[in-house]
Structure 1
């Protein structure tokens, strides 16, 4: 991992460790102990197998680096993350489909249960799996007012897995999640703030990053052990079903994705994108 020094806005030098990868860019501010993980997979940061593996690997590396906190964001204009790469599910190879699903399971568990606090800086649209990544972080700051976020799977003719749904319930509550999930609703920044899907709304990315750092600074005097244990206790009910039923979840997703009705819906959606 290379090191670089940059001049910050107060004209003081801060030491950054920096790694650049094909789909991710990561920096660690050695002074603050905060890592920034930037998704950079044009055109929409769609989550294919290789991208998911890279995210999971980087989260493991951050754990080894013993960082104090992490900001997750995007380098693309107008897109935070468009969710799972829908082309992976069109007439899929069953073996690769299974691997994508299990890798996403593991990536979500790694992000949802990080030993360090995390902030999603949502600087663009965030449907489906992109919304899940944001909800998996401890805090969400969304740039407004023109972007949207939500689990919109039903509008694509597919079903969000139970752990997607459980994650949303943990964030916004049973009733709001049920309406959101069944209607596939996408929320504007203001709407997302109103229902608690995001924690803050700001007008631009710089403000969002600053808000993220301010949140992470709350943990400077908090025991990492106390933070992690408290987080694990609160999030255990949400993750336990998946931990106990990974194969059941995989079988459900693969079976549903391979069904003629779902394949037809995916085909129609891909045709609409071409238009």
Structure 2
């Protein structure tokens, strides 16, 4: 059985974390996720990536604690290093990544979601947070770095130092979630996610431009303004040379809806 099930349709690659009962990740799952990210990166038919959890109870509850308890410090360090590299690869891939959260999203599960570009969740089905301090450790898969960038320094410190786990409604208030939707069922929620994700896929969207907007923001937020502006200019030049830019400009002047190809 695959720990990361992959499926592609209508320009959207869906990665399903599948490790019952809580979709906890191991070295094996991270290796499969890493490979899936690279496959999607190289696949020109993929324009958007959606990451979800199997079942209705958990998006992901983080690392497999039983596995970590039995591992030596050498393994634990390399396990954390590889998880960091995998999530950085996700951030660096010039395709929009959406976390579709239907259930609890805690610990390393929230760290995976924070590495996605957008986070949407089903209302009333779970909680999220980074409670690693209650295990005597810190969030070690990017949580200390990404949460502070989302909610601010003092609030991130408080949430992590208290090990607070909070409802998804609170996550929306904090800005951890971008959208929180009512849905009648697990299937209804994921159908809504796919419909919403479709706005970022050709022919509706210039997905190459969407991907480079992501790259400009993900990298630009970490460097000086002048360097960020230089990056923006270089990415813009790449887009000026694209088929979608020609189509977009022509459609505007011809007063018609553009038909983008993602090229």
TM-score (norm 1): 0.72
Shift of 1:232: 3.5
1:230 to 200, 211, 216: 216
Moved more, 204-213 or 172-181: 204-213
CA distance in 2, matches of 1:146, 1:229: 32
Offset from partner CA, 1:4-39 (integer Å, 9 cap, x none): xxxxxxxxxxxxxxxxx511211111xx31111111
Aligned residue among 48, 73, 84 for 2:26: 48
Which residue is 2:251 aligned to? none
Where do 4+ consecutive residues of structure 1 move more than 4 Å? none
What is the rounded CA distance, in whole Å, between the counterparts of 2:92 and 2:29 in structure 1?
19
* Pairing partner for 2:77 from 87, 98, 112: 98
Contact 1:46/1:82 (8 A) holds in 2: yes
Q: Deviations over 1:16-66 (max 9, x none)?
A: xxxxx511211111xx31111111111211111111111111101111113
- Name the Cα RMSD after superposition: 2.1
1:130 aligns with 2:109: yes
2:153 corresponds, among 174, 199, 207, to 174
Alignment of structure 1 residues 1-275 onto 2, 5 Å: 22-29=2-9, 32-66=10-44, 67-161=46-140, 163-204=142-183, 205=186, 206-211=188-193, 213-215=195-197, 217-218=199-200, 220-221=205-206, 223-224=209-210, 226-236=212-222
Distance 1:51 1:130 in 2: 12
Give the Cα–Cα distance (whole angstroms) in 2 for the partners of residues 73 and 211 of structure 1. Answer: 10
The TM-score with structure 2 as length reference comes to 0.75
Determine if contact 2:22/2:61 at 8 Å carries over to the other structure: yes
User: Are the counterparts in 2 of residues 49 and 99 from structure 1 also a CA contact under 8 Å?
Assistant: no
1:224 CA displacement: 4.8
The alpha-carbon deviation at position 235 of structure 1 amounts to 4.6
Cα distance between partner residues in 2 of 1:213 and 1:176? 33
Residue 77 of structure 1 aligns to a residue whose secondary structure is: coil
Q: Which runs of 5+ in 1 are unaligned?
A: 1-20, 238-275
Whether the 8 Å contact between 1:121 and 1:209 is mirrored in structure 2 is no
How many pairs are equivalent? 215
Of 95-104 and 71-80, deviating more is 95-104
Contact 2:104–2:126 under 8 Å retained in 1: yes
- CA apart distance, 1:132: 0.6
> Alpha-carbon deviation of 1:145?
0.9
